[in-house]
Amino acid sequence: MPYLPEPIRSELPEGSGRSARYQRRVQDEVYRYGVWAAGKLAMEEADAFCVGEAIRFSLNEELSLLEYGRTRAGSDPVACALVSRKLNDLADQNDRRLRRKFR
């Protein structure tokens, strides 16, 4: 993972007393938090990428249907209305699917 934090190395001399143990514990906590935050960032990036890909795919499908429908319908107003209705149906289904999968 490219975002993993570097382990914290103390500038203070190592000791064996209670304050040294406390300091190591705090450093470990900060490091663990950095690892957790890096994981969250990677998941957010993956989610954003997947949402973008899904939106692009659904848009391409809708545009393909529009192009196909316009070719088939020609200048017939009834056929154009049917294409419009079907295109709206597809867009609504895609939108619902995207909302359900990426809440």
DSSP state of 74: T
Q: What is the number of other CB atoms lying within 10 angstroms of the CB of residue 83?
A: 19
Q: Which pLDDT does position 84 carry in this prediction?
A: 97
* Residue in the block written with tokens 């939108």: 95
Q: Quick check: 41 and 17 in contact, CB under 8 A?
A: no
Q: What is the pTM of this model?
A: 0.68
**Could you state, in chain order, the average pLDDT of each consecutive group of 10 residues for the chain (103 residues)?**
65 69 89 94 94 96 97 96 97 95 83
Backbone torsions φ then ψ of 17, nearest 5 degrees: -80, 180
Q: Which pLDDT does position 57 carry in this prediction?
A: 97
Based on its alpha-carbon atoms, the radius of gyration of the chain, rounded to whole angstroms, reads 27
DSSP string, 25-37: HHHHHHHHHHHHH
DSSP state of 11: S
Q: Quick check: 25 and 66 in contact, CB under 8 A?
A: no
Q: Which pLDDT does position 12 carry in this prediction?
A: 56
